[in-house]
A and B are shown apart, each in its own frame.
Chain A
Amino acid sequence: MIIDQLLAGFAGALAPLNLVFMAIGVALGIVVGILPGLGSVTALSILIPITFYMDPLVAIAFLVGVNKGGTSGGAVPAILLNAPGTPEAAATALDGHPMAKKGKPVKAMKTALYSSVFGDTISDILLILLAAPFAAFALRFGPAEFTAIVLFSFTLIAGLSGHSLIKGIIAAFFGLFLSTIGLDPVDSSSRMTFDIVELYDGISLNALAIGVLALSSVIQQIFVMRRDGNGAQAGTWQNFDREANKLKPAEFWSRWPTLVRSAFIGSGVGMLPGLGVSLAAFLGYGSAKRASKTPEKFGTGHGEGIMATEAANSAVVGANLVPTIALGIPGNIAAALIIGAFMIHGVVPGPFMIEQHGELIYGIFASMLICNAFHLLIGRVGINIWGYITRVPKTIVLPVVIVLCIVGVYVPTQSLFDVGLMLAFAGLGFVMRNTGFSIVCFVIGFLLGPMFETSLRQTMLMYKSDFTILLSSPIALIFVLLTIFSLWRFARRG
């Protein structure tokens, strides 16, 4: 039955106008995603008004294209400049940049793109199959289950701390501390805000992530170039070798277990509202490293690291429409914007959406699958273009990126306060890089901290401080056991 509806959907989705707009959408998404600080969310909120006068299917298909492109574009600066513009691409840089430094930037970008499209496709298929039955399952997730999931995420990520576990944990706790700045999630009293109104919602993740991940890396590279002192020569990439940059299909597919694992992790995270793309990326990377027989290769330019991250973060894109379509609630901000677009085009997202607008929904499903083909095509053409960046001396590219970061942080919130924060965090990141504190751990602490605190306190309030709920709820129990298992394995490995 699904097949029939989907075929009908394809009939509508293959209309020439629809195809043209999907292609434009993917291309725009990729371009915006490449700029540091700008991703799907900014691209969507700017482009939604443009869709006002379009046919609903064309409009949503266009926005879906933007969303898909935006999530994968972030990998390009992460690989080429070690400057991930969003936290979701942070783990891509861990292996992507070393690979690029070895003279294989194009290979790294290809790996990232193909993994993205793969993860995305799996996620779309899951969306089409699971959207309806998901509603009942999703309702079993409450604060207790989320607490258990976040606990488990912490342990999985402990493996990302680099050589010094102590410093990794310090970095994570410091990130956690910074995440508590703002209004308290329960009683709304202010915490370390110094009565600055811009801090009431906490430190902006965007400002923190760009500063500490991207900009600090850029200034680090500038200072190193200056210290090494041989001007233009230090600033160029290594010679480009076509042969080394080929990605053989056999090499790519031999890592299929990693791809599939990450695609499912990403889809799972995407289906649960509130967890976020970045967490999916880190979980994908962390679990691939855990499962690998050669974990020491990760972080040295290992293709599997790129695949694990990109497959996971792109898999969120399709799956986060599952709660939207099943329950009418957004999986994340990008999905919230798409809900807004649905409303503008006369569809009220909610539990009745498939019944009332089945034709449109299946048209959108079909468009998503077609979009993946465009994504592959346009992304591949794009790689050739981005390849040219490597011919420009780094002495020019890096200062330009500083200015791009400023623009990138300013545009989404139009707040100079965030620009200042970003510059300050770039300084912090620079110090951390040079004293051996893991920046990834820092960002993860910041990301997971509020989820953990809020879910834990919700759990305590809801169940009157009775923690047996963590054992009596089957889903929570599974994650508690996984946490214990993960800690045990970690302790045993040493």
Chain B
Amino acid sequence: MNVKVRSPRFGIAGLAAFAVAATVALGTPAYADNYPSKPVTLVVPYKAGGSTETMARVYAKALEKELGQPVIVKTRPGGGGAVGATVVAKSAPDGYTLLFAAATALLWPPLTLNVEYTPDSFRWVGSITEYQQALISTPDKPYKTFDQLIAHAKKNPGMNFADQSALSRAFINYIGKKEGIKWTAIPTKGGGEMVPFLLGGKVDVAWSGGVHQKFGDKMHVLASFNATRLAQSPDAPSLKEIYGISMPSYAVIVVPKGTPDDIAGKIEAALQRAGKDKAFDDIVSNKLKFPNQFIGSEKLNQLVKEMIEGLNTVIAATKG
């Protein structure tokens, strides 16, 4: 197709070409009908090798079948997800660049760091699963439940807890603030560092993003950071029950703001169907032991509002 519009002398032909180009750029129904006509990129804003990246690789295969185009997984690690999120926020809103990340990566950095995106920079298409975030400990400790832990911590100030991010630290400090407990945050670089610290007795309790489920009875859950109790540990209360706050737990797929409705709709439908893929279901439900549960854009947008409110409460309470 001739879309060169160099000079007005091209007259009607030029204008027509320009019009075609303009409509293509704005995304008309005709364009959405063709979607996807080229490979789709799925950005994972974490280092290769984590549970999110593993999930994304399997999911991309399933999505490929639904969309009929290759789905390429790109990792853009950095800043707890902020680098990848920035890249996607700035990319063209044409449905060819998707972001697969923890909701926290989109919500938390804009509140605490100087980043070039906000939760509104994205169109939240769907949530695939929930991270099983928990406050965990080992069975050799004298406290077996969350209440016992609080009582123990009040009597023994200066306990150590392992966090994995500024966000998890803020939440555990929030508990400390509410209960009047003094405890020390030990920063760790993730599950790989937290596990030996906890099993080796270097820390008393730890935040876990779900890795504890691989360790059977060697670790046990004291409380859930999610809005609900964890499926694997129904006896441990959730923070929502105790303090009315929860940590955003959803693994979401978003596209840049301004993506046309019908393309976003197509993606949402494909996401939902891809979630039923056998290989994906196996890795999520049986290996990671995460719930394989799809949440559509409508409900997700409500949840996003609640999550932002919750995070602001925690920030306000733990500041100063």
Residues of A participating in the B interface, judged by any CB pair closer than 8 Å: 41, 44-45, 48-49, 52, 138-143, 183, 185-188, 190, 195, 197-198, 200-201, 273-274, 323, 327-330, 333, 335-337, 339-340, 343-344, 346, 348-352, 413-415, 454, 457-458, 461-462, 464
B61 touches A139 (CB 8 A): no
A188 touches B78 (CB 8 A): no
Closest residue on chain B to residue A330 by CB atoms: B192
B214 touches A200 (CB 8 A): no
Mark interface residues in B88-131 (1 if CB within 8 Å of A CB, else 0): 00000000000000000000000011111000000000000000
Flag whether B185 is at the interface (Cβ < 8 A): yes
B184 touches A195 (CB 8 A): no
A464 touches B48 (CB 8 A): no
B54 touches A343 (CB 8 A): yes
A52 CA to B279 CA in the complex, in Å?
Answer: 9
Flag whether B146 is at the interface (Cβ < 8 A): no
B79 touches A201 (CB 8 A): yes
Flag whether B276 is at the interface (Cβ < 8 A): no
Residues A197 and B54 in contact in the complex (CB < 8 Å), given A333-B47, A352-B216, A458-B187: no
A40 to chain B, nearest CB (A): 11
Q: Which residues of A contact B193 (CB under 8 A)?
A: 273-274
A337 touches B61 (CB 8 A): no
What are 24 A-B contacts with C-beta separation under 8 Å? A45-B48, A138-B200, A142-B196, A142-B202, A186-B187, A188-B166, A197-B79, A197-B86, A201-B78, A273-B193, A327-B196, A328-B214, A328-B215, A333-B47, A337-B48, A340-B57, A343-B51, A348-B214, A350-B214, A350-B216, A413-B75, A457-B187, A461-B184, A461-B186
B76 touches A344 (CB 8 A): no
B185 touches A461 (CB 8 A): yes
Flag whether B195 is at the interface (Cβ < 8 A): yes
A197 CA to B78 CA in the complex, in Å?
Answer: 8
A330 touches B49 (CB 8 A): yes
In chain B, residues 157-173, which have Cβ atoms closer than 8 Å to a Cβ of chain A?
A: 158, 160, 165-166
A478 CA to B186 CA in the complex, in Å?
Answer: 25
B83 touches A200 (CB 8 A): yes
B215 touches A351 (CB 8 A): yes
Q: Which residues of B contact A273 (CB under 8 A)?
A: 192-193, 196
B192 touches A329 (CB 8 A): yes
CB-contact partner of A414 in B48, B53, B74, B189, under 8 A:
B74
Flag whether B299 is at the interface (Cβ < 8 A): no
A466 to chain B, nearest CB (A): 11
A274 touches B203 (CB 8 A): no
A52 CA to B218 CA in the complex, in Å?
Answer: 31
